[in-house]
C-alpha cells in the first residue's frame, strides 16, 4: 500500500576538505585490507562492479544519490594509496577533467615498476575512452576517466559522462580480464537512471555494421561525402535513430582522407585513428544502414546496470553468493581499518542488515 512519494534530488557542491581527508584515510585502509586479503586483482574486480563501487562511496561518507560520488571516490582512492603503489602493486591514473588527459603519462611514469609494457595499458585506457565517447553514442560526454592497474598488467576503468539535456550522469565500468574484444560487448557494467536512443556500435548485433563501416572508411572521401549529402536531402522515416542534422560532410572530408590513407583492418583500428570521433562513426553507420542495409544496434547498453541482478528477477535473479561476498569483503576491510569513526561503522552495519 502506497503511503507517499519521496523525491531524492541530486546534491550539488563538492566534498568539504575535512570529509575528503577522512575519505582518503579510510579508502587507503580499505584498499590495504582488500589487497592483503584477496590480492590486487580482486580490488580491480570490485571497482569494476558498479554496486560495490557505489557502496564504497557510501561507506566513505557520501549519500547514495549525491552528485560527485564517482569523481570523489576515485580521487580519494588515488590520493589515499599515494606512496603505497609499489607495496600494494596497484596504481591509479587519471581523474576528472584535465587530470584525465594525464593518464598516459601517469601510466608510463610507473613503467619501471611494472612487469608488463606500459604501452599496452596506455592503449587500453585510450580505447576504453574512445568506445564510450564515440562507439557508444548515448548523449553522455565523458568528463572523468580513472584507470586502475596492477604491476602485472591487469586493469580496470571507471569513467563517467554527463548529459546536459537530462542532467543525469552515466558511469562506465571496465575490467580488463573480461575484455576479449574492445569493440564487442567490452563493458563489465554501465549504470545510469535514464535510458535513451543510443547508437551502440559495440553490441553483438552491430557486427555487420562494424564490418561495413570499415569497408566504407577505405572508399575515396569524395564518394562518402556525396553519399552523405544525398542522405541529407532524403525524407527519413520518423523511427530512424541515426540523425543526419548535425553531420557536416565537408568537415568530415579531412578525416575521411585520413581513414582512406590509413586503411584500417577492422573496426577497432578505425576507432583508434586519431580524429575519428562520434560524428565520423555516426556518418559511416548512417551510410551502412541506408545504403547497404547493415543496421547497427540501437539498444542502450545501460541494461548492464545490475551487477547482482534485480529483486524482481530483472535482468536476472539476485546472485546471493556474489552479493554476500561483496558485503563480506567490505565488512572485513572495515574491521581491519583503524578508523575511530563509529558513525561509518554503524552505517555499514545497517547496510549489511538491509542486505540480509
| Most confident segment among 79-88, 224-233, 331-340, 345-354 | 79-88
What is the CB neighbour count within 10 angstroms for residue 42?
A: 14
Confidence of residue 150 (pLDDT cuts 50, 70, 90): very high
| Most confident segment among 11-20, 32-41, 206-215, 293-302 | 206-215
Confidence of residue 11 (pLDDT cuts 50, 70, 90): low
Strand blocks (E) in 118-167: 136-137, 141-150, 155-163
Alpha carbon of 98 to those of 64, 77, 150, 260: distances in Å?
26, 18, 23, 32
Residues 323-352, mean pLDDT to the nearest whole number: 60
Residues 198-224, mean pLDDT to the nearest whole number: 95
Do the beta carbons of residue 305 and residue 1 sit within 8 Å?
A: no
The per-residue pLDDT of the chain, averaged, comes to 83
Residue 238 has pLDDT above 50, yes or no: no
Q: For residue 227, what pLDDT is reported? A: 85
**pTM score, two decimals?**
0.81
Q: Largest Cα–Cα distance of the chain, in whole Å? A: 68
Confidence of residue 316 (pLDDT cuts 50, 70, 90): low
Confidence of residue 321 (pLDDT cuts 50, 70, 90): confident
Confidence of residue 191 (pLDDT cuts 50, 70, 90): confident
Residue 341 has pLDDT above 80, yes or no: no
Angle among Cα 149, 168, 308 to the nearest 5 degrees reads 55
In angstroms, the CA 135 to CA 40 distance is: 30
Amino acid at each position: 500500500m502506497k503511503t507517499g512519494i519521496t523525491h531524492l534530488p541530486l546534491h550539488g557542491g563538492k566534498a568539504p576538505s575535512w570529509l575528503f581527508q577522512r575519505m582518503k584515510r579510510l579508502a587507503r585502509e580499505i584498499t590495504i585490507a582488500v589487497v592483503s586479503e584477496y590480492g590486487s586483482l580482486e580490488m580491480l574486480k570490485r571497482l569494476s562492479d558498479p554496486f560495490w563501487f557505489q557502496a564504497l562511496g557510501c561507506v566513505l561518507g557520501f549519500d547514495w544519490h549525491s552528485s560527485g560520488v564517482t569523481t570523489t571516490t576515485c580521487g580519494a582512492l588515488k590520493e589515499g594509496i599515494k606512496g603505497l603503489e609499489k607495496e600494494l602493486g596497484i596504481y591509479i591514473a587519471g581523474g576528472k577533467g584535465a587530470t584525465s588527459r594525464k593518464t598516459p603519462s601517469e601510466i608510463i611514469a610507473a613503467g619501471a615498476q611494472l612487469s608488463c609494457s606500459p604501452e599496452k595499458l596506455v592503449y587500453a585506457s585510450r580505447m576504453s575512452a574512445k568506445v564510450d565517447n564515440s562507439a557508444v553514442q548515448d548523449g553522455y560526454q565523458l568528463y572523468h576517466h580513472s584507470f586502475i592497474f596492477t604491476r602485472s598488467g591487469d586493469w580496470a576503468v571507471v569513467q563517467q559522462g554527463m548529459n546536459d539535456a537530462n542532467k543525469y550522469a552515466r558511469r562506465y565500468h571496465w575490467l580488463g580480464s573480461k575484455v576479449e574484444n574492445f569493440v564487442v560487448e567490452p563493458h563489465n557494467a554501465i549504470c545510469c537512471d535514464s535510458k535513451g536512443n543510443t547508437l551502440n556500435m559495440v553490441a553483438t548485433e552491430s557486427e555487420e555494421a562494424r564490418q561495413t563501416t570499415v569497408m566504407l572508411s577505405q572508399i575515396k572521401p569524395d564518394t562518402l561525402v556525396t553519399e552523405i549529402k544525398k542522405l541529407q536531402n532524403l525524407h527519413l522515416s520518423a523511427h530512424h535513430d541515426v540523425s543526419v542534422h548535425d553531420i557536416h560532410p565537408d568537415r568530415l572530408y579531412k578525416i575521411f582522407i585520413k581513414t582512406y590513407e590509413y586503411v584500417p583492418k577492422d573496426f577497432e583500428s578505425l576507432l583508434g585513428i586519431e580524429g575519428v570521433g562520434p560524428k565520423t562513426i555516426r556518418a559511416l553507420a548512417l551510410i551502412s544502414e541506408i545504403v547497404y542495409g547493415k543496421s547497427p544496434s540501437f539498444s542502450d547498453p545501460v541494461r548492464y546496470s545490475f551487477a547482482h541482478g534485480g529483486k524482481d528477477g530483472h535482468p536476472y535473479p539476485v546472485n546471493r553468493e556474489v552479493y554476500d561476498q561483496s558485503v563480506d569483503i567490505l565488512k572485513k576491510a572495515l574491521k581491519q581499518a583503524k578508523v575511530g569513526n563509529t558513525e561509518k561503522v554503524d552505517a555499514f552495519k545497517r547496510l549489511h542488515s538491509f542486505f540480509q
